[in-house]
């Protein structure tokens, strides 16, 4: 399966082709901008003009990153009012000094800056920061009547301010796009906490309840975002005075292209443009788990971070708008397949309940708590109310949900109990359940299948027995294993060798993967092996703390590194020079942190025939899997999403335990 690095702006966008090669950064009444032209900032980093999205011929006037080949808008003027035809349009200065989109054929104004300009001889200038300003052409340039930085869309550019103007009441906040190709007002926004705390919030646009907090500003970074303390690329400023309260950032290197924005998924993301891969590379995403975004999947859905896709309809429901879902507009959610039986109040409803174990019950959803002594009584109360769509009975308490079901999340649970969630009983029409007659037919079919399977297995066993008897009578030449050509310590054995070593497969060969290392090996040897050399086992095996499924994620990461290199993850001094004597996992992590070429890490038997972007993604996945803290490791569901290009991944930190065990940085870490 090919690895795709990252998929971000997968929507179809293209800008209007410039009518001529001459570019400027200024618009005036005498020098308007026609539909096929564009402005370019003095430093060439930003451009302004008209661009089209999707296949519906919707045109928008906006600003984009001029140095990025993939058209990525940073600001949109008419986000909620698309234009169908730009042949007769121009961006110009109107008689009252405002910046307007004018339809020349009808002399009608489509969009206006609506500034209170005190002069009519104004000009619009696209600054080097990407800020479009309306100012007096003859007075001080700092005398600005209007600027795009005061009205951001979904993107937070370096040098812009997010926060409040205490004098005018202006609130500069970010609002997500509607979907991947529509810049219209979306479902989520990010803003400074209106309660007065020095922190940012992510909130659904139609709600006042945040689903993510940045934590309070401590003078250097926001408390719940400690990664900001690294300050690799940015300087941060938080200002609170009598005039305004805002947060701003600038770049150490102005040639670096950074995109901070609120994604259609409801996550606040930071990406950096990488020239070598010609792609946006993710740096941060908040909240980290997609299902932490409130009601991200819409009504009558279940969100699961361990599945792909993470949003799915509940049983008995189907996607309401497949077209919107393809564009990641999930707000419409799912629609019930069969109406509930609520037409006749005089009879008992025929509806039934479908159990959904290990579900997180919504924390902020309105629901009733009728008095009920048992789960059965709670179910009958729900059936007697046509508005009741689900119930739960937890610790002797009945809870009933009414109307559309929002913000339900699936958890993984053990085989014995649902310790990570409760059981939700979803009300469905009887038609959604198989009939008793169908069940009987199903049982009959199962019996027939089982009988046929048993008979087939009997024949197969007889055949295998005959083969074993025949092979035991065949003389095997030699007693020494003939080893096939190995590569960097990985040995390929012939079938006959494995057959002899296992006594015709009657004995098992030792495993060395995650928990399998404990099986078929005595425990003391395992600990001795791991303490002596860095192996496949996660650090928590050694420390004695409770283990989880993340230990196998760790083992997967170690094996993935061996697949990448084509050799065992071992350290051995050599005289070849370079990094060949460094413990490979540590070497990979170091190269990722340094931004070095990872081509040297890939199996040399490929002779350079490898996609370096995909290799880099695989290396990052592996290094996140082998992090010291199990909470830093991804789930296998997240790993699949990343490897298939459906999720983002940042550069992982150095695994300190492996670094210490391998002696990275000491005199023994490299060959000489």
Q: Which of 224-238, 256-270, 367-381, 406-420 has the lowest mean pLDDT?
A: 406-420
Q: What is the CATH number of the domain that holds 140?
A: 2.90.10.10
pLDDT for residue 581 = 55
> Are 381 and 515 members of one domain?
no
pLDDT for residue 510 = 43
> Are 261 and 331 members of one domain?
no
Identify the domain boundary among 254, 288, 322.
288
At 470-486, the pLDDT tens digits run 455 544 434 433 434 44
Q: When comparing pLDDT for 658 and 215, which is higher?
A: 215
Instruction: Give 54's pLDDT tier (boundaries 50, 70, 90).
Output: confident
At 267-319, the pLDDT tens digits run 999 999 999 889 998 888 999 999 999 999 999 999 999 888 899 999 999 99
38 falls within a domain:
yes
> Are 157 and 137 members of one domain?
no
8 falls within a domain:
no
456 falls within a domain:
no
The yes-or-no verdict on residue 24 having pLDDT over 70 is yes
Task: Please give the tally of structural domains in the chain.
Answer: 4
The yes-or-no verdict on residue 459 having pLDDT over 60 is no
Question: CA 72, CA 485: separation in Å to the nearest integer?
Answer: 50
Q: What is the CATH number of the domain that holds 593?
A: 1.10.510.10
> Are 406 and 271 members of one domain?
no
pLDDT for residue 440 = 54
> Are 339 and 261 members of one domain?
no
pLDDT for residue 514 = 40
Instruction: Give 608's pLDDT tier (boundaries 50, 70, 90).
Output: confident
At 491-531, the pLDDT tens digits run 455 556 655 655 555 554 444 444 433 333 333 333 333 33
> Are 599 and 500 members of one domain?
yes
Q: How many CB atoms lie within 10 A of CB 260?
A: 22
484 falls within a domain:
no
Identify the domain boundary among 113, 148, 183.
148
> Are 164 and 277 members of one domain?
yes
> Are 408 and 428 members of one domain?
yes
> Are 35 and 102 members of one domain?
yes
> Are 183 and 284 members of one domain?
yes
> Phi first, then psi: what are they for 217, rounded to 5°?
-65, 130
Identify the domain boundary among 148, 181, 198.
148
Show the tokens assigned to 593.
Answer: 């942190």
457 falls within a domain:
no
Question: CA 528, CA 537: separation in Å to the nearest integer?
Answer: 12
Identify which of 106-110, 139-143, 262-266 has the greatest average pLDDT.
Answer: 262-266
Query: pLDDT averaged over the chain?
Result: 81
Q: Are 126 and 63 a contacting pair, CB within 8 Å?
A: yes
What's the mean pLDDT in 319-347? 89
The yes-or-no verdict on residue 177 having pLDDT over 90 is yes
The yes-or-no verdict on residue 666 having pLDDT over 50 is no
The yes-or-no verdict on residue 551 having pLDDT over 90 is no
Instruction: Give 8's pLDDT tier (boundaries 50, 70, 90).
Output: very low
For the chain, the 3-state helix, strand and coil shares in percent, each to the nearest 5, are 25, 25, 50
pLDDT for residue 521 = 31
Q: What percent of the chain lies above the pLDDT cut of 90? A: 52
pLDDT for residue 77 = 97
Structural domain span for residue 364: 301-432
Identify which of 2-6, 186-190, 251-255 has the greatest average pLDDT.
Answer: 186-190
Question: CA 65, CA 75: separation in Å to the nearest integer?
Answer: 10
Question: CA 278, CA 132: separation in Å to the nearest integer?
Answer: 27
Q: Which of 15-19, 193-197, 301-305 has the lowest mean pLDDT?
A: 15-19
> Are 518 and 557 members of one domain?
yes
Q: Are 133 and 142 a contacting pair, CB within 8 Å?
A: no
pLDDT for residue 481 = 37
pLDDT for residue 597 = 81
Question: CA 471, CA 465: separation in Å to the nearest integer?
Answer: 10
368 falls within a domain:
yes
pLDDT for residue 51 = 94
Q: Are 391 and 401 a contacting pair, CB within 8 Å?
A: yes
The yes-or-no verdict on residue 41 having pLDDT over 50 is yes
Q: Which of 336-345, 414-423, 596-605, 607-616 has the lowest mean pLDDT?
A: 414-423
Q: Which of 442-456, 462-476, 513-527 has the lowest mean pLDDT?
A: 513-527
> Are 215 and 332 members of one domain?
no
669 falls within a domain:
no
Q: Are 242 and 166 a contacting pair, CB within 8 Å?
A: yes
What's the mean pLDDT in 325-330? 93
89 falls within a domain:
yes
The yes-or-no verdict on residue 389 having pLDDT over 90 is yes
């Amino acid at each position: 399966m090919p690895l795709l690095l990252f998929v971000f702006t997968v929507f179809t966008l293209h800008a209007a082709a410039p009518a001529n090669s001459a570019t400027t950064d200024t618009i005036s009444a005498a020098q308007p901008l026609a539909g096929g032209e564009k402005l370019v900032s003095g430093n060439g980093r930003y451009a302004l003009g008209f661009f089209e999205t999707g296949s519906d011929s919707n045109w928008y006037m906006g600003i984009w990153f001029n140095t990025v080949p993939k058209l990525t808008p940073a600001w949109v003027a008419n986000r909620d009012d698309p234009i169908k035809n730009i042949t007769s349009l121009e961006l110009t200065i109107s008689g009252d000094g405002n910046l307007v989109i004018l339809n020349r054929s009808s002399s009608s104004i489509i969009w206006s800056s609506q500034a209170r300009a005190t002069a009519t001889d104004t000009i619009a200038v696209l600054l080097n920061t990407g800020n479009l300003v309306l100012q007096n052409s003859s007075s001080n340039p700092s005398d600005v009547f209007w600027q795009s930085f005061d009205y951001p869309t979904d993107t937070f550019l370096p040098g812009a301010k997010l926060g409040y103007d205490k004098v005018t009441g202006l609130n500069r906040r970010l609002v997500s796009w509607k979907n991947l190709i529509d810049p219209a007002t979306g479902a989520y926004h990010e803003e400074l906490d209106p309660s007065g705390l020095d922190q940012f919030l992510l909130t659904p646009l139609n709600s006042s309840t945040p689903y993510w907090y940045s934590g309070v500003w401590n003078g250097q970074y926001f408390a719940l975002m400690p990664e900001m303390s690294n300050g690799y690329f940015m300087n941060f400023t938080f200002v609170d005075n009598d005039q305004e309260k805002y947060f701003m950032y600038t770049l150490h290197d102005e040639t670096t292209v950074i995109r901070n924005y609120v994604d259609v998924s409801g996550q606040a993301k930071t990406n950096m443009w990488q020239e070598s891969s010609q792609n946006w590379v993710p740096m941060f995403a908040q909240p980290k788990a997609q299902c932490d975004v409130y009601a991200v999947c819409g009504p009558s859905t279940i969100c699961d971070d361990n599945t792909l896709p993470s949003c799915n309809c509940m049983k008995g429901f189907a996607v309401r708008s497949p077209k919107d879902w393809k564009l990641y507009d999930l707000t419409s959610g799912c629609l019930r397949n069969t109406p509930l039986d609520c037409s006749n109040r005089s009879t008992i409803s025929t509806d039934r309940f479908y159990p959904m174990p290990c579900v997180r019950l919504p924390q902020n959803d309105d629901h009733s708590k009728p008095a009920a002594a048992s789960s059965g009584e709670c179910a009958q109360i729900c059936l007697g109310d046509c508005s009741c769509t689900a119930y739960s009975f937890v610790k002797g308490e009945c809870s009933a949900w009414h109307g559309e079901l929002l913000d339900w999340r699936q958890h993984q649970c053990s085989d014995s109990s649902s310790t990570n969630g409760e059981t939700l009983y979803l009300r469905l029409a009887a038609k959604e359940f198989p009939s008793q007659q169908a069940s009987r037919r199903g049982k009959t079919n199962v019996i027939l299948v089982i009988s046929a399977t048993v008979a087939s297995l009997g024949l197969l066993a007889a055949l295998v027995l005959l083969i074993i008897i025949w092979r035991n009578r065949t003389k095997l030449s030699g007693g020494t294993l003939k080893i096939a050509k190995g590569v960097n310590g990985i040995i390929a054995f012939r079938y006959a060798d494995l057959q002899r070593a296992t006594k015709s497969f009657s004995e098992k060969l030792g495993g060395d993967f995650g928990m399998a290392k404990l099986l078929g090996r005595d425990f003391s040897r395992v600990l001795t092996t791991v303490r002596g050399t860095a192996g496949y086992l996660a650090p928590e095996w050694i420390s004695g703390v409770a283990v989880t499924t993340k230990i196998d994620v760790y083992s997967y990461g170690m094996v993935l590194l061996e697949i990448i290199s084509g050799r065992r993850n071992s350290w051995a001094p050599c005289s070849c020079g370079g990094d060949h004597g460094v413990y490979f996992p540590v070497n990979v992590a170091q190269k990722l942190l340094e931004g070095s070429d990872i081509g040297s890490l890939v199996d040399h038997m490929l002779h350079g025939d490898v996609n370096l972007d995909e290799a880099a993604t695989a290396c990052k996945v592996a290094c996140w899997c082998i992090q010291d803290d199990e909470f830093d490791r991804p789930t296998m569901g997240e790993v699949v999403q990343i490897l298939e290009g459906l999720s983002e991944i940042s550069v992982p930190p150095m695994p300190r335990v492996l670094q210490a065990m391998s002696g990275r940085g000491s005199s023994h870490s490299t060959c000489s």
